[in-house]
Chain A
């Protein structure tokens, strides 16, 4: 479009003026005006490009930021401590070490002191002080996994204190930095990949925290949400699209659903607090209540996307089924629903992804407590991934910054997987009639 001006330009003024005193069409003012208009056109296009570039840049910056910080969150500073169990005085065999109470028994046998003694031997007094206080639990767990260790000598990688971890990252107090340098030089302090982050739960020290407790809480909550929101959403979409008579009640239902889809999520939290928690006061911060609350929030999303999917099934299918003698219920459940199901599932996954990232309503119903053990059921206290991220982001300890970003990466991976699945379903099963 831009280059269309120049080839015609030399023609300006060459057109013979007719006897009526016509001025040439392409006067210098005209050319200037045209150039200005094309300039405006180019600028406008550039503004559009700039808007896109800016949005994408923010996205890349956001994700990159999380990724760079988060990689550190999957690592932790660990001290190598060599323990010779033969001379430690610990006793135990296959059965006693794998029993559920083995940690308790080992504690009574003095495992914490033994770990401290060997730590002083391997790391020196100043280094041993920076071994985290719970380090012996890791050793107890290792012994429970492999009781044969107790007959030999073994080097363990144990979490350092968060002060020392800061020192290793060249932050924190100068003494710690010096100590970290010394220990690193001796080869007993290093940043290692921390797979335990995926299997532990919340803790007070960033060196000891893990994501599994919150992840399990999220999965339990999502299970309740899906079990409630999916059937209710699909049934009410079917009713509204296929059977509902046109009357005031139907209008009221439609208005309710459209409004619920737009109500701020925190309002659902207020509902959960005022209604669900007064019916079940014992289940504060349980996945059951969280799931109920999120189900009410997700249901309208499923209804709206479900109705669109049902609407897309052509009427000829219904007419055909009716013509061969199917009842209205058979038409819908045998023919319309199977054809609309991929679309409904896509909407459901998108709604569930939204619910998985939702924080505010769960804060309201008390899922923000410090929960150090993974929940064992739908009614035990739990927290969920986004709330865990919120809680960690409030911590003052520097080590939590990286852990928070690592938790965000895990949350984003889940969301990416869910959205990817939705896109796959849409592309695979989408039909144009």
Chain B
């Protein structure tokens, strides 16, 4: 049974209810009664449609979660399930195979024992899909009839429909809170489990990172879970190297575009910079790993540094910096534009040149906004994943040499969660602890930056 068919049925029934409701409402107007109907026919129509659509939608969601379990239960009760292993992995795989064959997703079963389960699955699928269709139609009819019978010339359909719309608006805006809450809870939950195995002190202050996903999960070696090298790598690549590239280039291009360039050039160059921001990070990662990293290595070897790595922190950081340029540039652009023109005019009137006005008047005045922009840029850089996954190393290294291999928090999250590790292993859970740290740090950076920007805007308004 496919939920798509159920959804189509629901849409069809709602449409039918809509038309029926409107038809009935038209008769109120045409019947020539002395009293004008309170609501327009469209609102009667929507009232009926809503009374069909909402119960049916709730039913479909519940049914698509519930029905696979009902199917499995009835299969287990069938005689073919007598040979099924009592529990464990084999039982699950037999069931999964038979389910796949019955659903037409697989040509045949691998375990012969599962053969006997295919027919029970087919029968149960057929039975429950019929039940699903019948219940859908019944619920739709019940809702539709209830609403339809309430339609009268003096029925305030518009008020009712608008109340539903208001509730929908409120629910939609609550999704954001729910998402934040979901992120927070899932990170906290797994992080607490992780800290049950490895103490937070070892995690936050240890200087050796080398979790072994293959080791026994029961008694983890806490000394292998020191995250300092990861934090250092993240800061070194994202907040130091990338910013050394992005801040001067972004700032200077914003200054040139807003203060010097003629409008014609600006209309061409600005979209070009926006393209730089729109290139997907996986493309930057590929570019960093395949082109920039070997170039940097060759250059380092040419000047006599023999141990330069092809997975150097420098390559990842420089490419990340290039990615951030448009971001810094647009933040600086906004901040400089927010400085009142009278300050600039005053500076010119005193005989200052353009560059003196920019560096001594506009820049200091815009500084809070620019600093906030840089903070947002840093939070974006340290959360950036694909460039470092592809171009940086997975080996943790506490070093200040940009030509050495270095790893970051995001690289380790990807590494720990894309392996085959079990969800009970501290190595897997450590990814959530790292994610939690990352979440908190970006949250704080953003919060401060937005506050600064807000206060800065108010200062000049």
Contact = CB atoms under 8 A, between A and B. Distances in A.
Interface of A: 1, 37-38, 40-41, 44-45, 47-52, 54-56, 58-59, 62, 65-66, 231-233, 235-236, 238-240, 243-244, 252-253, 256-260, 262-268, 270-271, 273-275, 296, 299-300, 303, 327-329, 333, 353-354, 356-360, 363-364, 368, 380, 386-387, 389-390, 393, 401, 404-405, 408, 411-412, 415, 419, 423
B386 A359 contact: yes
Contacts of B322: 55, 58
B255 A48 contact: yes
Given A257-B176, A270-B432, 18 more contacts: A44-B359, A45-B354, A48-B260, A55-B272, A58-B276, A59-B275, A236-B172, A239-B169, A239-B170, A264-B442, A273-B417, A275-B186, A296-B175, A353-B278, A387-B282, A389-B286, A408-B283, A415-B279
A257 B271 CA distance: 27
Interface string B388-414: 011000000000000000000010011
Interface stretch (B145-153, B160-168, B303-311, B336-344): B160-168
A238 B166 CA distance: 10
B301 interface: no
A178 to B, nearest CB: 29
B256 A256 contact: no
B278 A415 contact: yes
15 contacts: A48-B259, A52-B253, A55-B276, A58-B276, A233-B172, A236-B169, A240-B173, A243-B166, A256-B176, A264-B382, A274-B186, A329-B162, A363-B418, A386-B386, A393-B290
Nearest to B187: A270
B173 A253 contact: yes
Contacts of B278: 353-354, 357, 415, 419
Contacts of A48: 252-253, 255-257, 259-260
Interface size class of chain B, counting residues whose CB lies under 8 Å from the partner chain: 35 or more
A223 to B, nearest CB: 12
Nearest to A411: B280
Contacts of A268: 183
Contacts of A264: 379-380, 382-385, 410, 438-439, 442
B279 A62 contact: yes
B256 A52 contact: yes
B289 interface: yes
B249 interface: yes
A253 B174 CA distance: 7
A262 B256 contact: no
Interface of B: 105, 158, 162, 165-166, 168-170, 172-177, 179-180, 182-183, 186-187, 189-190, 248-253, 255-257, 259-261, 269, 271-273, 275-276, 278-287, 289-291, 322, 325-326, 353-356, 358-359, 376, 379-380, 382-386, 389-390, 410, 413-414, 417-418, 431-432, 435, 438-439, 442-443, 446-447, 450
Contact of A270 (B172, B283, B431): B431
A66 B249 contact: no
A4 B87 CA distance: 91
Given A48-B253, A359-B281, A389-B282, A266 B385 contact: yes
